[in-house]
Structure 1
């Protein structure tokens, strides 16, 4: 039965031309330790020539990227700078700087100040993004202007707060690391203010937003003021008009990664995986046992130097290798519930504490072994009976088992609790054998009374069914996505309800 209720909030997007990005929100559970089972079933057209020989699990893992991070804490701009808010990273950073100013020192204080300033930058950026997104999607002149005016006030409040933080850092004798972190924060927020206000100016320019003229002029003034401020400070995030800005995006990306590092956990791939080799080891042992039994039998019946003995031994070794390969395939299919290809330990970087793990498994699924519920969901949008016969597909499954110890997370973090699991799949290897994207097609045009040529796009439908549950909730939940691709990459994404 297809469940409509979700236990994981999912988001799908094309990260770029060749990579699909899947984001899953792992909410804080009442049970202190939670286990999430997530299975991705990929259905690929046979015409793409995907098989165990042409596409291995090593290629699949090489084409995936994995991140796990905290969701940005939901603190509004107003509450962020309220003096009484003990959860505000701005207030926490100011408190640490007061302690440093009073003569207290140590690496813990330094790391706390750095972490709080990074978190402050992440929260400010999230508030700017959400405000601009709300304004852009809101219809109505009055609502757009009201929210934009509020955003202007929030930006002024942010600028005043950063100015006071800067004065405190300079006057308190902070370490160079704290100063460097602040200047990175200062540059990043200046850049974000400029970028998001530029988006609103363009929204009005494209006649999608109806801002008052005075409001637009204020936006333009702030954008130019921030640009001049970055120039005066000697920051690198300044575009050269008419020049080649070969350093700009690199530095912008560096600032973003540095500030957002306060939200990211540290995944460490485990080198030791004895269970993975259990199946092949059992297969090799049973195959060897068969060869030894045949050898003992042959010795009891025939002389060692006889032709019959030699033939039996040669055949036994031939069958030994075949038996080993057959058993390896059988074990890989039957033991995937508790065997895995690789294991990643998830560590909380600030305290270097292990808070969970991720186990991954990849396997091809023959049509006869495909679970009935997955088969039903895959076929659910077939409009005609011929579709099922015409769409011959190869199926492989990628399974992720995510264990999280929320008790440890809660011990270290009062504001960062919800986790986001981010996966990026590359389809580049899927479309290596695809035909050219644009195909000419001749047809008779009654208007010109002649045969004309039209260009058609050759599209491939890669279907993805996601099945998941948790240890606490055994019922399966589902997502369905269609990746429409061409030889040049992702053409579009469609969520199938």
Structure 2
């Protein structure tokens, strides 16, 4: 960790303005017309690079936007959820309620059921992390109110300055991720359209254009990329220049704040480098114009140069040893964890029906004991000449009492399970104020008891109903009722409009009974008139049907396919 701090003295921080910082790095001042563009209001459906005042309302949860699935590692399936309040300024809406529901249709060959995979196992494999969700800001909008709030925080004490530095980094991360998603979605859409046209002409039907294939970049996509190249460097320069200028103007800045400033400037540079680099590689693979790819590459290289004075070894160039790459990734991860820590929340999980369950168990034990005592009194005192009848009655009474207690406990447990959630979360901020309450349910559901809408989504890819006989499935259900306190959330500041959750499902228990990853398949080849064999990968499909909605609204169910093998997760396919 020592490599993440500067060895030189902090007292020599340069006191330069944001404009001087740009000129020092070879960047020209933006023209008056360019600065004027920052005050123009964009259309409601504009891409994420134009100015749009931060509104009080958020869009309703939609699966492609607010529930994103991915593979975290070999055995962990990850889903990112965002619970956004519709209107934090509505005084008549004190709470926002969400419903999250997901059904896993698991092959019976996995041998998962309520006996082999108990509720404790489910929650041991299902881990959730909850944090604040920054308001979605278009990239250019970061030069408005977020930049002004950054200046204000840098002029305050150390704690507020640290929070301001980390928060602007988080806002930038989300803005860049949103911009990249817009570009990738339009790129993939245009590629599919290109492939469809080629297929209609009788050419190859491959989705990805091959290198060298004549493919005209759609005008809207090209405009998005060029707008990103125009706005991105300006945002990079303004953020880094503002941090250097505001801290350089102060003589009372402590070493911790200066170190944090270097870390944040380095991470801002890393994020822009990765953003431009990833977009450049995607466009290059898609056959985009060389000039556009080279311009993106130049923007990424400029981002690297912008962190030269941060005192951190965060540049990979030329041939490197694996240890150097590992160290780079370690440093990058530390920076991300440091800045994202400003969003972290505390979660306390409890069992809401615990004491009621214990009270009912006590009633069951009392009823069973009352029966045993009554049986003993009915039999009377054992005669002196023979103990056999008395002992026989006592044994029978104890056995019935024991079973009666177990039956009553099971019945009472089912009553508690029907009326109380499995777990209840209290989500609080760093001061201990509760922001949200979450009720969580999990368990197996008989296939015939699954909602018709869920089954309809599951059967979208069914060719014939007989497939359900050939491939029987076990259904595991997971639900959350999420209640967000709008008033408490609004007190945290204008940069937040909801909470974000990342949950990861560990599938290592699910894969314990799968076959070997490859099977030998023997076939008769009519073309060669011979017997041939192939190594065929053995994979399993887990169907996932899910939705995230406001409690007072309805929403469509969405479907995806998770492909796994004995080695772990292979891919996630959307069926929508």
Distance 1:381 1:327 in 2: 44
Paired residue for 1:335, among 405, 412, 416? 416
Q: Deviations over 1:348-396 (max 9, x none)?
A: 23x4421112232333334576556555654565432322333333333
Matched, 1:422 2:502: yes
* Gapped regions of structure 2 (runs ≥ 5): 1-59, 88-92, 191-215
Q: TM-score, normalization: structure 2?
A: 0.73
Distance 2:61 2:149 in 1: 36
Q: TM-score, normalization: structure 1?
A: 0.83
Residue matched to 2:16: none
Tell me if structure 2 keeps the 8 A contact 1:280–1:328.
no
Paired residue for 2:526, among 423, 434, 446? 446
Aligned residue runs from structure 1 range 131-280, under 5 A: 131-136=179-184, 137-138=186-187, 140-141=216-217, 143=220, 145-161=222-238, 162-173=240-251, 174-206=253-285, 208-212=287-291, 216-228=293-305, 230=307, 233-239=310-316, 241-244=319-322, 245-262=325-342, 264-270=343-349, 273=351, 275-279=353-357
Distance 2:80 2:513 in 1: 29
Residue matched to 1:110: 158
SS in 1 for 2:326: coil
SS in 2 for 1:448: coil
Query: 1:188 offset after TM fit, Å?
Result: 0.4
Distance 1:418 1:405, change over 3 A: same
RMSD (Å), alpha carbons = 3.2
Distance 1:398 1:325 in 2: 28
Paired residue for 1:72, among 111, 121, 134? 134
Tell me if structure 2 keeps the 8 A contact 1:302–1:308.
no
Paired residue for 1:120, among 143, 156, 168? 168
Paired residue for 1:91, among 148, 167, 173? 148
Residue matched to 2:493: 413
Residue matched to 1:104: none
* Gapped regions of structure 1 (runs ≥ 5): 101-108
Distance 1:320 1:469 in 2: 48
Distance 1:232 1:368, change over 3 A: closer
Q: Deviations over 1:11-30 (max 9, x none)?
A: 22223332222233323145
Query: 1:144 offset after TM fit, Å?
Result: 5.1
Paired residue for 1:311, among 361, 368, 392? 392
Matched, 1:56 2:118: yes
Q: Deviations over 1:53-89 (max 9, x none)?
A: 43222222222221223333233343322xxx4xx23
Q: Deviations over 1:213-250 (max 9, x none)?
A: xx655544444454455455331323363212222212
